[in-house]
Amino acid sequence: MATMTDQQTLTIRPGGPADAATILRLLDSATAWLVARGRTGQWGTEPASTDPRRIAQADTWASSGGLHLAMLGDAPIGALVVGAATDYVPPATEPELYVNLLVTDRAYAGLAIGARLLAHAADLARARGLGLLRVDCYGGDDRALVRFYEGCGFTATDPFTVERPGREPWPGQVLARRLD
């Protein structure tokens, strides 16, 4: 596991179209980490960088204006994408900011990168005058992601299922955090 030195500070910077490859690298690394632990339900077993749908998604996220990268020195070690909710989750009953992606480099586990990125998302929402931050995550297996988000101040709200032709349904969980 990597650590930060006294000279290294975690910063968060806006991302842009040139950062699509960074998103894919982080997704590939996280997928490999999950696969090595037998946890293939969340993102499957194949690298995002070889999936045309995921490549297009990374390009869209990187160009959306909602990408933010956690940086340790010059190295991107986490990505956050915020914007509008995805169409497969129940709509919010008020204006919100939605976390579309949160992924971190598992080599830096234990440095609270994900929690820092979620705090940044909350700051972005407050700056926009919004009182609600929502996210969805994989709700299967041991529900570790649900517990992570709950530890960051979110409350589980709506479970949902994404039907995938020819594949197992994907169990999801929406979580919400009040900011006001």
Find, among 109, 94, 180, the residue nearest to 148 by Cα: 109
> Between vectors from CA 104 to CA 117 and to CA 159, what angle results, nearest 5°?
75
97-104 and 132-138: which strand pairing? Answer: parallel
d(CA 39, CA 15): 29
| pLDDT for residue 128 | 97
Structural domains in the chain, CATH included, are 10-178 (3.40.630.30)
Which residues of the chain carry a pLDDT beneath 50?
5-7
Per the CB < 8 A criterion, the answer to whether 156 and 138 are in contact is: no
Q: Say what the pLDDT of residue 2 is.
A: 56
Q: What gap in Å lies between CA 146 and CA 155, rounded to an integer?
A: 9
The pTM (predicted TM-score) of the whole model is 0.92
What does each C-alpha distance from 40 to 37, 43, 44, 54, 155 come to in angstroms?
Answer: 8, 6, 5, 16, 25
The pLDDT of residue 9: 87
